[in-house]
């Protein structure tokens, strides 16, 4: 009997030392030094929370990052308390404070939005060094067909970091309520052809990487968000000031089988900053760009390279190379099914058009004729005229905005103008005051309808805001890890 009691006591002690149960454990690192945080992370298992205390003098200059394979929550004590300083060297390529490469168990726990796991980084200041190239706050790799969807990076502050988050592979999640000073938010890149064929994304579905509710201040360099290689991104309700390179870019196809972006959604942003290049640069995939205030007249839609240089998806339902009308169910890596409306200049509230840039490259010649055609691959709204369903520039272009009754009064004609769009809303189509920027007073509400040739059909509604991953907070029952 004594032996049995001793065994039971030993098992009890082991269960306390190695928490792995339905009830996640919570730890406090002994300090904010890299060594102590690494020790706490090594003690954790799936679903656990690590809290990092405030920095003491000399504790918080990190010369290398920490590798993580289990879905855990890493929580700092606040942006004014846990200040991690980048001490990486120039030859440390693709280095980050936290580097997450989920193992098979984590991928299973993070695969569904309703899953049990979360990878989370919150409550830190990440202080950089003049935006050293390829140095990040968090680096996430998931080069696996199984996508992870429960990633949340929030309530952090970043100063002079090249990118706050760099992801590669099938990584979905949300980056929210962060402060960024001279720092790019993210550059989500997918898993190339695998993302296109096995993780196809849809507009308004919650797919992809969300950048929402953040404040940016630039001083001459940087990008809010860019993407490619089969990833999709949604940039919404952010406030941006200062001057920098570009607002948002979505790559198209490039040589050596570099794949384009699947989806791009940009709405509700207050881009008060001044960009030095084309402020929104759409080069591939499906897109929705609407209800943004901007401080530039330079947007563009273009095809980056001839598609045959990069190949086509196995599941492609329409030809890539050459002009064509891409059907609703097709997969196309060039710009298609894209709607651009009610993007207004800060100075005079005029609507900003998206011209086609003729700089497609076919492997031999630059500036070959573009394959994109307005009112076929993309539709846009113009300041002049009221939309009447004809697509003429002096009659509002290819997208209208107004009430359901106003839309129903417009009939583009039987079999005519397939794909024309109309944004149905009870909100103002001209005054964006309360609808834009971080934490808007009233989020944008409406649905885009497409003309099928005989009737208006609901096509797109923005995904719920705030993102559902923002609803939960980490537990606070903490244990010291020495």
Residue 282 pLDDT > 70 = yes
Extract the tokens encoding 479: 């244990």
Q: Which residue, 343, 298, 342, 303, is CA-closest to 326?
A: 303
Q: pLDDT tens digits for 393-414?
A: 889 999 999 999 999 999 998 8
Angle, CA of 477, 480 and 481, to the nearest 5°:
125
The string of DSSP codes covering 444-480 is ---EEEEE-SSSEEEEE-PPPSS-GGGG-------EE
Between strands 447-451 and 456-460, the pairing is: antiparallel
Q: Are 301 and 337 in contact (CB under 8 A)?
A: no
| Distances from the Cα of 362 to the Cα of 72, 193, 280, 358, angstroms | 46, 20, 23, 12
pLDDT at 10: 34
Q: Rounded to whole angstroms, how far apart are CA atoms 355 and 302?
A: 8
What pLDDT digit, counting tens, does each position of 146-178 carry?
Answer: 999 999 999 999 999 999 999 999 999 999 999
Are residues 252 and 230 in contact, defined by beta-carbon separation less than 8 angstroms?
no
**Residue 280 pLDDT > 90:** yes
pLDDT band (50, 70, 90) for residue 201: very high
Q: What is the pLDDT of residue 311?
A: 65
List, for residues 441-473, the tens digit of each pLDDT value: 999 999 999 999 899 999 999 999 999 999 975
Q: What is the model's pLDDT at position 292?
A: 98
pLDDT class of 18 with cuts at 50, 70, 90: very low
pLDDT band at 111 (very low <50, low <70, confident <90, very high): very high
Mean pLDDT value of segment 383-387: 89
> Would the pLDDT of 321 be above 60?
no
Please give the pLDDT value at position 141: 97
Q: Length of the chain in residues, anyone?
A: 482
Where residue 475 falls among pLDDT bands split at 50, 70, 90?
Answer: very low
Question: What pLDDT score does 378 carry?
Answer: 92
Structure tokens at 250: 């979505």
Choice among 55-64, 81-90, 192-201, 222-231 with the minimum mean pLDDT: 55-64
296: number of Cβ within 10 Å = 19
Q: What percent of the chain has pLDDT over 90?
A: 66
Domain 24-385 in CATH 2.160.20? The answer is: yes
Q: Which stretch of 82-91, 125-134, 224-233 has the lowest confidence by average pLDDT?
A: 125-134
Output the pLDDT for position 5.
Answer: 40
Residue 22: what pLDDT? 43
Quick check: 333 pLDDT over 70? yes
What pLDDT was estimated at residue 376?
Answer: 86
Residue 13 banded pLDDT, cuts 50, 70, 90: very low
pLDDT the model gives residue 277: 83
């Amino acid at each position: 009997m004594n032996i049995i009691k001793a065994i039971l006591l030993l098992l009890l002690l082991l269960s306390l030392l190695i928490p792995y149960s339905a009830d996640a454990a919570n730890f406090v690192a002994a300090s904010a030094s890299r060594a102590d945080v690494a020790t706490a992370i090594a003690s954790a298992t799936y679903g656990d929370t690590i809290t990092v205390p405030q920095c003491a003098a000399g504790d918080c200059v990190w010369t290398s990052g920490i590798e993580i394979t289990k879905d855990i929550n890493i929580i700092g004590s606040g942006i004014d308390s846990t200040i991690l300083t980048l001490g990486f060297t120039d030859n440390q390529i693709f280095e980050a404070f936290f580097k997450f490469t989920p193992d098979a168990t984590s991928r299973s726990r993070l695969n569904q939005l309703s899953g049990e796991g979360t990878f989370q980084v919150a409550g830190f200041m990440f202080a950089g060094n003049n935006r050293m190239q390829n140095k990040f706050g968090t680096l996430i790799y998931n080069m696996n067909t199984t996508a992870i969807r429960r990633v949340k990076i929030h309530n952090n502050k970043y100063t002079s970091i090249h990118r706050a988050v760099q992801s590669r592979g099938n990584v979905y999640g949300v980056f929210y309520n962060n402060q960024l000073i001279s720092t790019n938010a993210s550059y989500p890149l997918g898993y190339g052809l695998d993302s296109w064929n096995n993780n196809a994304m849809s507009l308004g579905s919650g797919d992809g990487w969300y950048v929402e509710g953040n404040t940016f201040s630039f001083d001459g360099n940087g990008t809010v968000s860019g993407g490619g290689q089969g990833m999709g991104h949604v940039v919404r309700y952010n406030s941006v000031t200062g001057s920098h390179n570009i607002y948002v870019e979505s790559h198209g196809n490039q040589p050596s089988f570099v794949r384009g972006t699947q989806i791009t959604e940009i709405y509700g942003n207050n881009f008060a900053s001044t960009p030095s290049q084309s402020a929104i640069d759409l080069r591939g995939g499906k897109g929705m760009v609407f209800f943004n205030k901007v401080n530039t007249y330079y947007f563009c839609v273009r095809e980056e390279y001839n598609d045959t240089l990069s190949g086509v998806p196995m599941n492609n339902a329409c030809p890539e190379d050459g002009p064509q009308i891409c059907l609703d169910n097709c997969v196309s890596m060039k710009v298609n099914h894209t709607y651009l409306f009610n993007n207004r200049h800060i100075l005079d509230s005029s609507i900003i058009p998206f011209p086609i840039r003729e700089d497609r490259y076919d492997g031999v010649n630059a500036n070959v004729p573009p394959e994109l055609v307005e009112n076929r691959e993309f539709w846009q709204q113009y300041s002049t005229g009221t939309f009447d369903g004809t697509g003429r520039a002096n009659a509002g272009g290819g997208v209208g905005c107004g009430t359901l009754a106003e839309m129903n009064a417009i009939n583009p004609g039987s079999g005519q103008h397939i794909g024309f769009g109309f944004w149905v809303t009870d909100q103002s189509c001209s005054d964006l005051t309360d609808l834009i920027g971080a934490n808007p007073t009233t989020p944008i509400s409406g649905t885009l309808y497409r003309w099928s040739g005989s009737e208006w059909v609901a096509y797109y509604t923005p995904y719920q805001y705030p993102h559902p991953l923002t609803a939960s907070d980490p537990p606070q029952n903490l244990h010291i890890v020495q």
